[in-house]
Chains A and B, each alone.
Chain A
Amino acid sequence: MPDIKPLRLQVQARIRKLELLSSSGLWILALFTALSIGAYRKFAFLPTLNDAIRSLLGSGPPVNFINWALVLYAFSAIIMVLTQMTGSKRPRGALSHFGYLSVFYTFYHFSDGLTENFWAVFTIGMTILSLQSYHVWNYYKEKVREEEEILAELNKLAEE
């Protein structure tokens, strides 16, 4: 009978990796919370842009346009995450959601609409990222359970 100790070690390493991945959604949530605190303080911790760069960038888009873009984004992002959940697909796109939300904060900031719309972006960001992290947690916990079953079988074999 071949030695199954290296195989057991491999499975244990995989379990550790999957457990680490299962909490990755929470890290993104924490990152978004930190970004939101910065946005709430109107990014005061960042250096102000000088006039040359500001004029190069041009004026920000109208707040109304950003609002409609946010509605579209929110609707499609929720549908996308729910579709991933129902299909039990590998969770993807948490970082890109974080990126999109950061862009919304930036656009509102440059269009002087951040104070009015901060809570809208924060709420939808928390919703999308909470759903995403719930899916990440469920998906990787399921994988961990599968690996634990394999490990239990291997342990039985080793005892025999």
Chain B
Amino acid sequence: MFNHLIVRAIVPITIAVTGFVVFGCLLLYSFIKADMIDEAVLHVDSLAETVVKSTRYAMLEGDRESLANIVDNVGTLVEVGQIRIYDEAGEVRFSGFDQAAETITTTIEIDAWSKQIMQADSPQRTDTHHNVTNTDGLIAVSIPILNEISCSTAACHFHAEEEPLLGFLSIGISREPLEKTLALLRSRMIIFSLMVLFLTIGGVAALLQMNLFLPIQHLAWCAEQAAGGVPVKDLPKADRKLGQLEKDFRLLIQQRDQAWQEQKSVDILLRKADHGSDRNSRNRNRDAGHQAAATTGSGQNPQA
């Protein structure tokens, strides 16, 4: 019964605490992951902006060699996984990596996407695009290289004035450091959740055991003893944790003991009274026998 009581008290607490802690951790992980991806996107945006600013003069001058050098040098950064400059037709003009070394599928995917973006009727032509769900393990940004007055009027080369877009820069940083940090965060969260769970459930169970179940078990054992006839003075010392219940229980046993005592006294008195009345009746019978013998004379049976 008490095991059942303990189970009934602990099970809902265990379910509620475990569920809420795991749910909280999952949601917290999701929040932190979103924040870290936002941070990585900001970083890649800033990197792309830096590249665009640093290539601006080389582009104006039409200095392809300097442009290729800048792109190559940025490509040597450890975190940079991809850097490309596309022209207005969506074709790769400069790449920080050897195109043969890049995976074919990625190249095909990006080229198809870039051509689609660079179509004249595409509404997203002049927008900045982020791609964080790439299967190639990169967080990438593509920023448009817009036509400016100085571009269309430059002496060295020119672009048509009505063409708003000259190409775009695509740069991607590796997701690996982010994934490593998230994996570390996951393992720490699992350890933390397990600690919280053990402490909460263990703490609640210990408190319930100490303050409720043990006093109840003690009272139940006393009740069993009392039912077996043990008087109140022979019962173990009272536990004060159950308060009035324990006092009332002992009062009941005390009243029962008193009732037994009174019953015993009454029984003894009754027995004495019975014993006395028996003796009296025997005496009376003897006296009656003597009287009869006296009237009938000696040697005669008074019953006859």
Contacts and interface: CB of A to CB of B under 8 A. Distances in A.
A71 B31 CA distance: 12
B15 A130 contact: yes
B16 A82 contact: yes
A144 interface: no
A23 B33 CA distance: 39
B30 A134 contact: no
Contacts, number: 55
The contact size tier of chain B is 10 to 19
Interface string A117-141: 1011001101110110011001000
Nearest to A133: B15
B11 A120 contact: no
A134 B11 contact: yes
Nearest to A127: B19
A130 B26 contact: no
A70 interface: yes
A85 interface: yes
A75 to B, nearest CB: 8
A70 B20 CA distance: 12
Contacts of A123: 19, 22-23, 26
B199 interface: no
B19 A130 contact: yes
A120 B16 contact: no
A102 interface: no
B12 A131 contact: yes
Nearest to A79: B16
Contacts of B34: 63-64, 116
B26 A120 contact: yes
Contacts of B11: 134
Greatest chain A CB density within 10 A among B18, B20, B31 is at: B20
Interface string B1-26: 00000001001100110111011001
Contacts of B15: 127, 130-131, 134
A142 B15 CA distance: 21
B294 interface: no
B12 A85 contact: yes
Most A CB contacts (10 A, CB to CB) among B11, B16, B23 go to B23
B27 interface: yes
B27 A117 contact: yes
Nearest to B26: A120
A78 interface: yes
A67 interface: yes
B28 to A, nearest CB: 9
Contacts of B18: 127
A123 B12 CA distance: 15
B21 to A, nearest CB: 9
Contacts of A82: 12, 16
A124 B23 contact: yes
Nearest to A67: B27
A119 B19 CA distance: 11
Contact of A128 (B8, B19, B22, B27): B19
A74 interface: yes
Contacts of B19: 78, 123-124, 126-128, 130-131
Interface of B: 8, 11-12, 15-16, 18-20, 22-23, 26-27, 30-31, 33-34
Given A127-B15, A134-B12, A134-B15, 20 more contacts: A67-B27, A71-B27, A74-B23, A78-B19, A78-B20, A82-B12, A116-B30, A119-B26, A120-B26, A120-B27, A120-B30, A123-B22, A124-B19, A126-B19, A127-B16, A130-B15, A131-B15, A131-B19, A134-B11, A138-B8
Q: Nearest 7 pairs between A and B by C-beta?
A: A127-B19, A120-B26, A124-B23, A123-B23, A120-B27, A123-B22, A119-B26
9 contacts: A67-B30, A74-B23, A75-B20, A120-B26, A120-B30, A127-B18, A127-B23, A130-B15, A138-B8
